[in-house]
Structure 1
Amino acid sequence: MSDDTQLDLGDDPSLLLVDDDEVFLKRLARAMERRGFVVDTAGSVAAGKALAVSRPPAYAVIDLRLEDGNGLDVVEALRAKRPDARIVVLTGYGAIATAVAAVKIGATDYLSKPADAGEVVNALLQREGDVLPEPPENPMSADRVRWEHIQRVYEQCDRNVSETARRLSMHRRTLQRILAKRSPR
């Protein structure tokens, strides 16, 4: 799909982009405008929630971790005002647990950063019943699967390290060291 391909966005092409990476936000906003979206941008949870409530868009792309909080708060605010909105959550962390949490509270899909405008558009416009993309050629390693499981339990425990360590039968400090590291490939 080229950068200037006009899409069938229905009657309402409004799009909210929420990300605290200003360069990425501006670049994605320009690319989405070229595709026919009417774009509002926000660089924080507070600004994103304000726009979601005052002008609920048909589409939204929301970063998961923002400087002033969690992008899932914006997803919840938008879902409350506009249940039919198509919402994609972006995460630089790529944890299955956070993706599951995003989908449970109303996100349509999630993408790992870096994601280009074409991937974002495909995720926004994918409808139920569409053919799913091919599975990855190189699946997760065993270390990555372990790390994803730990992240899922951590999210289920509301990010409480002590409770997570207890449920996983592991020492709290060991868990803290694992959580402080980047995810394995």
Structure 2
Amino acid sequence: MKLLLIEDDLAFARTLMRRLEAHTQAQAHADCVQSALFQARQLRPSHIILDMNLNNESGLLLLAPLRSLLPSARIILLTGFASIATAVKAVKLGADDYLAKPVSMALLLATLEDDIVHSHVSHDDEIMSPERLEWEHIQAVLTRNNGNISQTARQLNMHRRTLQRKLQKKPVAN
């Protein structure tokens, strides 16, 4: 896998790059929007880890340009301020996954290697409602946590009882 890490926290970026070194063929790091787009054009990565907050700029602004430049790349958005609204927006803009910091290395690797579950809409004529996107995202995170509701609630940054109420509802239609 070719990996592009877009992260402005240099200490975190160095640590993450070292940990992912054994799992990648090539790596690149960018700490701002301009550098990220340049590195994406040069490396043509298969996987991108994108920080939500880049030096007072939103990582969400990069999703559309990255998706158009690299339509088949797996894009994972990392954030220290997770919310359902932001997760839905990120998925609509082209992110495949949305993970809250701090993220375990095991979860990050599982997400990077998971090419079966894609959260983003693959057909232009098939647009999902925000409620359906939320349901799909919750189900994907729950599956990755082997049905552990407490762990899933922590990763989604919501109370466990709130998650249980959402899971008791029937899935909404597209």
- Shared topology, TM-score over 0.5? yes
Which of 149, 164, 173 is residue 136 of structure 1 equivalent to? 149
Change in Cα spacing, 1:136 to 1:51, as seen in structure 2 (3 Å) is same
Does residue 18 (structure 1) correspond to residue 6 (structure 2)? The answer is yes
Gaps (5+ residues) in structure 2?
119-139, 164-174
Deviation (angstroms), 1:78: 1.5
Deviation (angstroms), 1:117: 2.7
TM-score by length of 2: 0.67
Deviation (angstroms), 1:129: 5.1
Does residue 72 (structure 1) correspond to residue 85 (structure 2)? The answer is no
SS in structure 2 at match of 1:53: helix
Mapping 1:1-185, distance limit 5 Å: 13-128=1-116, 132-133=143-144, 134-137=147-150, 139=153, 140-141=158-159
Query: What do residues 6-63 of structure 1 show as CA deviations (whole Å, max 9, x unaligned)?
Result: xxxxxxx210001111111000011111223411001112211221233321000000
* Identity value in percent: 33
Deviation (angstroms), 1:125: 1.6
Separation (CA, whole Å) in 1 of partners of 2:34 and 2:56: 8
| Contact 2:2/2:27 (8 A) holds in 1 | yes
Whose Rg is larger?
1
Count of residue pairs the alignment pairs up: 133
Deviation (angstroms), 1:68: 4.2
**Which range is displaced more, 48-57 or 75-84?**
48-57
Q: What is the aligned-residue RMSD (CA, Å)?
A: 2.5
| Contact 1:45/1:68 (8 A) holds in 2 | no
Gaps (5+ residues) in structure 1?
1-12, 146-185
Separation (CA, whole Å) in 1 of partners of 2:43 and 2:57: 21
Give the ranges of 4+ consecutive aligned residues of structure 1 lying more than 6 Å apart after TM superposition: none
Separation (CA, whole Å) in 2 of partners of 1:135 and 1:104: 26
